[in-house]
A and B are shown apart, each in its own frame.
Chain A
Amino acid sequence: MSQSSSQTPDSWIGTFCNLVGHEYFAEVSEDFIEDDFNLTGLQAQVPMYKEALEMILDVEPSDTNSSALSEEEEEEEEEDDGILGDELDEPAANQNGAARRQSGVSSTGRRHGRTSSDASVIESSAELLYGLIHARYITSRPGIQQMMEKYELSHFGFCPRVYCSGAKVLPVGLTDTPGQQTVKLFCPSCLDAYTPPNSRFQAVDGAFFGTTFPYLFFMTYPDLDVAPLKKRSTRDAAQGNDDIESTLSPTEPNATRAGMTVSRSSSLTLPQTPSIPGVAQAKDEKSSVTLSTLPPQPPAINGIATHNLAPGLGKGKIYEPKIYGFRVSERAKSGPRMKWLRSKPLDINELDEARIWHERYGGTLDGDDDIPAVSEQQDNEDAAEDEEEEEADPDGDAIMASQGQAPTNNRAKSKRLPDGDGDATMTTQGQGQKRGKARRKSTTTRNQGVEVSAQQLGQQQAGSNWI
C-alpha cells in the first residue's frame, strides 16, 4: 500500500499521474521499472527507449552509462545525451545499453544538444513507455493493490447503466496494442464496457491499462462485492421492474435504503425474499412460477461467487419498454429485441454447464467415470489418475481424505501401475476437479467413461454417436 505515496510529488511519474486526464493511472513503483525483466520487449515498441526510461526515472541523462538505469554516473553533468551529436545513431542502437562510444564523440560536439522538439519526442516516448509499463504493473500484485485503493476511492467512476445502480467500474483497454483504442470502463455488474463520461479520457490509450486488468482484478479479490451495497434488496422489494430508483447520482447518500443490506446479491439468488414473488408476478407469470420452485443456489458458480456474477443483469434489471403502462410486444417492429443481452438465468445452476452435461451424459467433472473400484479392469485407470497424487505425496490416501473425498478403500488402495499412455495426460488435466468424484455414483461402464473424458478433452466435439 505504500506504493501509492512512494513517489515524490515532483518526480516525473508523480507529475504524469497528476495531469488532467491521467486520473486512472497508478503510480508505478520505481523498483518495478528498474527491474529489467519487467521491461522485456518494450525496447522494440518505444522509440528513444533509453532516454524515455531515464526521463521516467528522473535519472540525469548520461550517455556514458550503458546500463540504462541503475548506476548513473554523475560525472557528466550535461543535459544532453548526445543524440543529436551522432544523429545517424538509430535510437534502437542506444536502447539496449549499447555503449555509446564516449571517447569518439566529443562533449563539445554534443553541447548544442537536445532541441525542444527532441525533448518533446522523448516526452511522448516516455509517456508511451510509462503506459506500457503501467499495463504490466497493474497486473502485478503491488499494482493491483494500488488499483484496489483507487477502486475503493471510486477514482474510476460508476457504471452509467441505470440498473447497475452505480456499480464501480475499472479501466480497461479493448486491445493491448498501443495507439488503437482509448481507455474504456468495465462494469463488473453488467459485464460490459463503457466509454468514460468525461472527454478528457478520450486522449488516454487503452493499451496503457490492457485487456486483462479488470477481470484479473476481480479474480484477485473474489470477495469484493461488485454491486453497491446500498438499496439492493429494498429496491427490489419496493419497486420491482421500475426500480430505477434514485440513481441520478450514485454517490448521493441513501441512508434510508441502506437499511436492508441483508442481501447484497440480486433478487435472483434470493428467491425467498418475500416481496419478490409479487413483483415477479406483475411482470412475468411464467417466471414467477419458476421462482417459487427455485432449487438451492450454489454459493459460487464457475469460479466466482454467485452474488458477484453480473448482479446488474437478470430479471428486474432489464428495461421493459412500455407505452402508457402497457408493455411493448416483442413482435412489434420496434419491440424489444435486446433483452437477451441483459438477461441472466433465474436459476443460476443453469450456468453450470459442466455439471448439466455430466448429469445427462454421465461421467464426472474431471471427465472420468466414477465407479468405485470393483473390477480389476479399473485399476489401470485409477493407477493413471492416482499417479499424480502419488507424485505429490506418496500417501495418496491422506491427500484425498484431506480433501474430503471419502474415497472407497479399495479404489484408493488399488494397484497403482503407471501405464504411461494417454490416460495419464487426461487425468492430469482433469485433476483440479477430482474431488467429488467419489460421491457421484453412476452406472456407466468403464468404456463409456473413457469415451466421455476423451470427448470432453476434445472440446466436446459435436459427434454424438455415443449417446
Chain B
Amino acid sequence: MNARTLLLNAYVYAVLAFILVPILIILPMAFSETQYLTFPPQGFTLRWFEEFFNNRRWMDATWFSLRIAALTAVSTAIIGTMATYALVRGAGSLGTIFQALLIGPIVVPHIALAVALYLFFQQSGLSGTTIGYVLAHTIIALPFTVFTVSAALSSVDPALEDAAMSCGATRFTAFRLITLPIILPNVISGALFAFIISFDEPVIAFFLAGIRDKTLPRMMFDDIEQNLTPVIPAIAVLLTVLSISVLLGAAILRRIAARNAVTVDT
C-alpha cells in the first residue's frame, strides 16, 4: 500500500468517524444511571425509556408525529406515483419544468420553505394542524418518492399497458392491474422514505408548531433546553432503530422490485 492510498483510506475513515461518532456517543448515554447527560455513561438502566413511555407529553408528541408521518407517507405515495407516471410516460415539453418543480424542495433550503409556509399557514389557519404538517412534509418528501418510483417505472415497458388495453382493459385498469403491481415495491419503499423524513423533520416543525400539538423532534428541542435528562438520548436510540429498520425495509423492497423488473424482452 503506497502513501497515496494510505492517505485516501485515512481520509475516508475520518469522514466516517465524523459522521458516526456523535451517534455512537449519544446512544450509550441513554442507558446511564445519572440524572443528567454524562459521558462516559455510568451504570446501566432502562428507566429513561420507561420515563419516555410513561410520560403523557412525550406520548402525545410521538402519536402526533406518527400520525403525520403515516399520512405523509400515504399522500406522498399517491401524489408521487401519479406525478412520476406523468413525468415518465409523456409530460411532453412541460416535463422538464414539472420535474424541476417536483425535485425543487431538495435544492431549496428547508428554512426558506419553512418561512414561506409559516407566513402562508398563519393566514390560512393551517399552522400547527395535522393537515398543515402533512402538506409541508409531503412537499419535502415528494422528491425522494419520485426518484424511487421513476427508477422502477422507467424499466416497465409502456407497451404492457397497450397490451392490456388491447385485451379489453381501460387505461386506468391497465395501470392498476399491470403497471402498479410491478412498481408497488418501489412505491412502498418511497412511502417509507417519506415516513422517516416526516417523522424526524425538525425545521418545519419548529416554525409550524402550535402551542399544544408538537411533533416529537420539536418536543425534544423544547425539553433539552429545560432538563438535560437522558430521556433525550433514549428517544434518539428509538428514532435511530426505527429509521434503520424502515430504511432496511425499503432497501429490501427495492431489491425485490429490481428482481421483478428483469426486463420483459430477454
Specify whether A and B are partners. Answer: no
Q: Which B positions have Cβ atoms within 8 angstroms of A? A: none
